[in-house]
Amino acid sequence: MTGSSSRFETAVEQTLRHEGGFVQHPRDPGGATKFGITRETLARARGRPASAADVRRLTRREAVAIYRRLFWNAVRADELPPGLDLAVFDLAVNSGPARAAGMLQEILGVPADGIVGPVTLEAARAADIPETIRRLTKARLGLLGRLAAWPVFGIGWRRRVLAVEREALRLSSLPPSSSRNV
């Protein structure tokens, strides 16, 4: 197993711990969701409209493939330092890859265009990773706290973001050889 493959698997497992089966909460702007994949995301992944029934039938395997292609790859998480990859990926899952990239770029002090490219990757590699993870968590909680749905979902969102931060900090502190094969 390659290091980046196991890093993705670690990250997606962490994310899936917080994403449940099929839900269609009336106050959730994402609508029908399964494994954290919304109807809109499923439609984008499949290249055609998706119904709530399509979301209900979504398999875990397809959800993981969608996470890799539309979120992990979109933020170039394979190229981010261990721990920061998880923090940025989980943020991308909840708020979109462009917003996750933009928030990371703002924290790193590079131009925020919402696309992880060479400048962002270089800045990420040179950064204090634990501090970057903590600042990203703070920014993420600030963003979520301003959402209209915070009173309904805030406790769960906060719990998730802090759990991701704890795991990301743990991964960032592992020696390079062990962080690749967690």
Kindly indicate the confidence band of residue 28, based on its pLDDT and cuts at 50, 70 and 90. Answer: confident
Q: Which amino acid is at 40?
A: E
**Centroid of chain to Cα 151:** 22
CA end-to-end span of the chain, whole Å? 11
Q: Which amino acid is at 133?
A: I
Task: Check whether 108 has a pLDDT greater than 80.
Answer: yes
Question: Per residue, what are the HEC states of 21-74?
Answer: CCECCCCCCCCCEECCEEHHHHHHHHCCCCCHHHHHHCCHHHHHHHHHHHHHCC
Q: Which amino acid is at 84?
A: L
The encoded tokens of residue 93 equal 């899952």
Report pLDDT digits (tens) over 38-68: 999 999 999 999 999 999 999 999 999 999 9
**pTM of the full structure:** 0.91
CATH no. for residue 14? 1.20.141.10
Report pLDDT digits (tens) over 135-181: 999 999 999 999 988 998 899 999 999 999 999 999 999 876 554 44
Residue 180 in any domain: the answer is no
Residue 81 in any domain: the answer is yes
Q: Which domain holds residue 96?
A: 3-172
Say what the pLDDT of residue 21 is: 86
Structural domain count, the chain: 1
